[in-house]
Amino acid sequence: MLPDQDGPSGGGGTQDGRGFKEESSVALFREYLQIKTVHPQPDYDAAIRFLTRISEELGLPMKTIEVCPGRVVTIMTWTGTNPALKSVLLNSHTDVVPVYQEHWKYDAFAAVKDPEGNIYGRGTQDMKCVTIQYIEAIRHLKAAGKRFPRTIHLTFVPDEEVGGHKGMETFVNHSEFQKLNVGFALDEGLANPTEAFTVFYGERNPWWITVRCPGSPGHGSRFVENTAAEKLRRIMNSFLDFREKEKQRLDTSECFTLGDVTTVNMTMVKGGVAYNVIPAEMDVSFDLRIPPAVNLQEFEEQIKAWCAEAGEGITYEFAQKFMPQNTTSTDESDPWWNAFSSTCKAMNMTLKKEIFPAATDSRFIRASGIPAIGFSPMNCTPILLHDHNEFLNEGVFLRGINVYERLLPSLSTVPAQRGEE
């Protein structure tokens, strides 16, 4: 349960810090934020207990699938009046990234709401808000006696925030996922500090690469030739020179967003055993994010050329190398996009279409052949995912529920497509 009062010591219960009765949706959101599904030891069991309670409240059947040891995907289902039609998938992840508590105004897991209605907590934007907005929109629609032709599935997946995304990556190849018969999916997006709402129809490909540079060892007092450090410097220069060119493209073109260029960041350097010993090998690692328009085979050939130019014996390996480059249609003739965009237009929402700059579970959904849109209804909000003092205003949160109350009926009544009936 939430503490009774707001402020530095904790969150709020049925009343907010001004003594007003708090919306039940907001109280549920703040309760979910207090569940510490934070890496490296996320409390997934507590999250499943929370979701089990919700499924009972909503009267929706729930299933849990262990996709790998200790990692469970939870599924709730609102069966449609015509279950033979392809379903709508509402995906969210339960885990959140670690915090540096010393940089936060409040306890990052207390769900404190300040006098302006800003709710602070890890996961407020990424992405526990969307989870509760899905749930509350369905609660309101069911309470109004609504039913729709297409089935709606809610999936709650683990380990989105760690390399490899083992939750959804494994689940899309599971027989239980195939049984969901998904036709279209919604997943997370980003906040937008302007009035617009950002919509993501594709993602950049994450490549995590380590380049190994062997060299001649020796005593630190000598000018040894062909050292690992010399090769390392050349490799670093090649990657970082390319980084600078891409940064300039982004900075000098009004047409480009971050998702349209390749980012390169050097993240780790390893090597050496002592101050006076020239190492026999040094490694450098990079995080690359590559937009769908780039030819990946040609890009890897460029990496091979950088290695060959830097010296003999240099090798590389990938810790992550995602190759599918699927994007979702945003053509008005596409029935799914038309249902989504026309509903937003009817609510006077300005949509800004982009390639997602990082990586979400949507990439695995799209790779399986299912159209997916990344969307979090958070406009007029600074982008604070993974940042200190992550927060979401309760007014923005509540408006997001209303958005989904309009979107879900539109998506779940998309007319049957060829092959569905």
pLDDT at residue 164, as a whole number:
52
**76-97 pLDDT per residue, tens:** 999 999 999 999 999 999 999 9
Question: Beta strand 351-356 with 182-187: parallel, antiparallel or unpaired?
Answer: unpaired
Rounded distance, CA 123 to CA 33, Å?
6
Rounded distance, CA 3 to CA 12, Å?
5
pLDDT band for 20, please (50, 70, 90 cuts). Answer: low
Structural domains of the chain, ranges and CATH numbers in brackets: 24-203+327-411 (3.40.630.10), 205-291+293-321 (3.30.70.360)
Choose the catalytic residue: 160, 283, 361, 405: 160
Q: Do 28 and 133 meet the contact criterion of CB atoms below 8 Å apart?
A: no
pLDDT at residue 418, as a whole number:
85
Q: State the virtual CA torsion across 13, 122, 411, 48 in degrees, nearest 10.
A: -70
Q: Is 95 a catalytic residue?
A: yes
**124-154 pLDDT per residue, tens:** 999 999 999 999 999 999 999 999 999 999 9
Reported residue count of the chain is 421
pLDDT at residue 7, as a whole number:
42
**198-226 pLDDT per residue, tens:** 999 999 999 999 999 999 999 999 999 99
Rounded distance, CA 216 to CA 301, Å?
27
How many C-beta neighbours within 10 Å does residue 5 have? Answer: 15
Q: Is the pLDDT of residue 14 over 80?
A: no
Rounded distance, CA 9 to CA 111, Å?
10
pLDDT at residue 21, as a whole number:
80
Choose the catalytic residue: 16, 22, 95, 107: 95
What are the strands, taking DSSP E only, across 260-306? Answer: 263-271, 277-278, 281-290
Q: Is the pLDDT of residue 376 over 70?
A: yes
Q: What is the pTM of this model?
A: 0.91
Smallest CA-to-CA distance from 335 within 413, 420, 419, 421 is with 413
Q: State the virtual CA torsion across 210, 213, 217, 220 in degrees, nearest 10.
A: -80
Rounded distance, CA 231 to CA 343, Å?
56
